[in-house]
Chain A
Amino acid sequence: MTVAVQAGDLHKRLGSTQALAGVSLTLGDGITGLLGPNGAGKTTLLRILATVLAPDRGTLRLLGAQPAERSERALIRARLGYMPQEPGFHQRFTAFEFVDYVAILKEIGDRRRRHDEVRRVLDLVGLGDDAQRRIKALSGGMRRRVALAQALLGDPRLLILDEPTAGLDPEQRLRFRELISRLAEDRCVVISTHQSDDVSALCHHVIVLDRGASVFAGAPRELCDVARGRVWLADDRSAGARLSWLTGDGRHRHLGNGPPAGAQLVEPTLEDGYLLLLAPPARAAA
């Protein structure tokens, strides 16, 4: 595995909040999914990996270089693509103009080469025909694709995407998965998301953050295994379940440590594992 990100004991305080409290990770080629509740520190971690924020403490190497060093940081940034959670757009720019503006700041060649590159990434995200439309005239999903397009400029070795599928319709999400899985064949992609099915479908590696700390790191299958033998269906709500809900077929799906005798155990999903990992032990059934 080629190591693209190597972080040790990262700490970051934002105001009075300890956003990261000792996160360590090593990431190589392939897709890594970051899961966690709101405020878990996902976005802070991604901002640090994107060199937007500097950690208060800890070690960090990106693409074999140290972002703390100014000269190395510029070189890392040239080989890094970042899509923020709320990218922001210049509404009066066309999609082409906006991506071109980013391409200039990314120092992508002369004018002709840069424009070729802008057209390439807009085609990649399916916006080739809408390149000359103003951003304010684009839908929310199309704007997300503009944000993704700018992240792909220069064929980056490290791609950091903060909630890239938010606001995309099902078809767009499938296209996104297809594109990202293709790109991840020879680079490191880190995705933060609340969509556990995106993680199941795409990621080779999952990290679950909670209150600034990593509480799980492993393969998606291993996160499913957290819930193995702890998910069952029943006609009624079970008192011993930590979480339960009424499903569409009229039966109750339960998550917990003690399925009653004779309960119908079912195959756990990644979401089951995630919920059991983070559910407070004493929480009563909903």
Chain B
Amino acid sequence: MSTAAIAPLPAPVRRAARWRPPEHVLALARIEGRRLVLHPVFLAGAVLSVGFVIFVWATPDDRLLGMLVSGYVVLPLSAAALIAANLGALRSRRDGTEELYASLPRRRSSRTAGQLVGLLWTLPVSGVLLAGAYVLASGGVLEGPRGGPVPFDAPAAVELAQGPLAVIALGAAGIALARVAPMAIVAVLLVIGGFFLEFELTYWIVGQQTIEGRSPAWVHWLVPVANDAVETARPCPPDILARIANPPANCRSIDLHHDVSGLAWHVAWLAAATALAAGAALVRSLVVRLSLVALVALLALASALAAG
């Protein structure tokens, strides 16, 4: 029997010098992004965030309004993004498809890149949530139960960026976590731990009376969304009084500002942490991956110390 070797495979095609997002990453991102925002955990987070917005708006404590304008209300959504993205990144391991995927031309890093880019699909959700929160806070359309609308300056870009970036940052952290500790329970414990740190542990350590219901500054640096609102109470301006049918005699409005410079630093730290988490998710070397995670922790610690 005569034999003939199969024709050798063609040489690898050299990539074009001009970079553009690979087609397969965008295709994966479309699938991963859609699955993320339709994930039951993410949807539950969105419902909780809506509930948070309504709760803050309906609570007769004007100081809480700072939460509406700082993007703080997307925290439940951010936590849900962490868990849902983590579950998405663990999907192939959980469903036993790793062996099949190992036989395909595109490596695991391509799937991870698709999952990371897919986080951008959360932007419309967090954007709608924040827009709703601003509408409620401004009273431009709805009047709050405080006897009048609450005026505040047009939000700064960093205020607008903080909430959506927090969702993406925690999503990236969830994906990186899946590479470092491939067990879904770790992400859940991290969320519970973060909640405990922010709302309970600080009260327990420092004492609620001394901090007047707020966590110390170093904790604020560790949470994804900083909320350092500066509030000034003042008599209702005439234009607002004119829009209210029966203004109370003691009508006062709260003017809310944020320390924009401080928020900018926080947003910068959030962006850096997101980039490092994405890098940790993408790299193949375990040593490099762990180093990047350690760098995020170090960055957080340094920021917290700097904040006092």
Please report A residues at the B interface, Cβ cutoff 8 Å.
Answer: 1-4, 6, 26, 28, 47, 50-52, 63-65, 71-72, 74-80, 82, 84, 86-92, 97, 100-102, 104-107, 110-111, 114, 147, 150, 157
Whether B12 contacts A82 by the Cβ 8 Å rule is: no
Rounded to whole angstroms, the CA-CA distance of A88 and B94 in the bound complex is 9
Shortest Cβ distance from A63 into B: residue = B6
Interface with A: B96-104, B127-135, B155-163, which one? B96-104
- List B contacts of A88 (CB < 8 A): 92, 95-100
A84 near B99 (CB under 8 angstroms)? yes
Residue contact A1 to B110, C-beta cutoff 8 Å: no
Would you call B9 and A105 a contact (CB within 8 A)? no
Whether A74 contacts B6 in the complex (CB less than 8 A), given A82-B100, A88-B100, comes out as no
- Interface residue from B9, B27, B97 paired with A63 (Cβ < 8 Å): B9
Question: With a CB–CB cut-off of 8 A, which chain A residues contact B110?
Answer: 105
**B-side interface residues toward A, CB under 8 Å?**
1-10, 12, 23-24, 27-28, 31, 35, 91-92, 95-106, 110-111
Smallest CB–CB gap between A54 and chain B, Å? 11
**A80 CA / B102 CA spacing, docked (Å):** 12
List B contacts of A82 (CB < 8 A).
100, 103
B3 and A28 form a contact (CB under 8 A): yes
22 A-B pairs, CB-CB below 8 angstroms?
A1-B1, A1-B4, A6-B5, A28-B3, A64-B5, A64-B6, A72-B9, A74-B105, A75-B10, A77-B103, A79-B9, A80-B103, A86-B99, A88-B95, A88-B98, A90-B97, A100-B31, A101-B28, A104-B28, A105-B28, A107-B106, A147-B100
- Residues A107 and B24 in contact in the complex (CB < 8 Å), given A72-B9, A75-B10, A77-B105: yes
| Interface contact B95-A91, CB-CB below 8 Å | yes
Closest partner residue, chain A, to B3 (CB atom) = A1
Separation of A51 and B100 alpha carbons in the complex (Å): 10
Q: Which of A50, A65, A75, A157 contacts B103 (CB 8 A)?
A: A50
Q: State how many angstroms separate the Cβ of A148 from the closest Cβ of chain B.
A: 12
Given contacts A75-B12, A87-B100, 16 further A-B contacts (CB under 8 A): A2-B6, A3-B4, A65-B9, A71-B12, A72-B9, A75-B9, A75-B10, A82-B103, A86-B96, A90-B95, A102-B104, A104-B27, A104-B28, A104-B106, A147-B100, A157-B6
Identify A3's interface contact among B5, B98, B100, B106, CB under 8 A.
B5
How close is A105's CB to chain B, nearest CB, in angstroms?
4
Given the interface contacts A1-B1, A63-B9, does A107 sit within 8 Å of B103 by beta carbon?
A: no
Given A3-B3, A102-B104, A105-B101, A74:B12 Cβ within 8 A: yes
B140 → chain A closest CB, angstroms: 41
Cβ distance B299 to chain A, nearest Cβ, rounded Å = 33
Q: A52 touching B102 by the CB < 8 A rule?
A: yes
What is the distance, in angstroms, from A78's C-beta to the closest C-beta of chain B?
5
Min CB distance A154 to B, Å, is 10
Is A51 a contact of B3 with CB atoms below 8 Å? no
Tell me the nearest residue of chain A to B39, going by C-beta: A92
Q: Closest chain A residue to B4 by CB distance?
A: A2
Which of B4, B91, B101, B106 counts the most chain A CB atoms within 10 A? B106
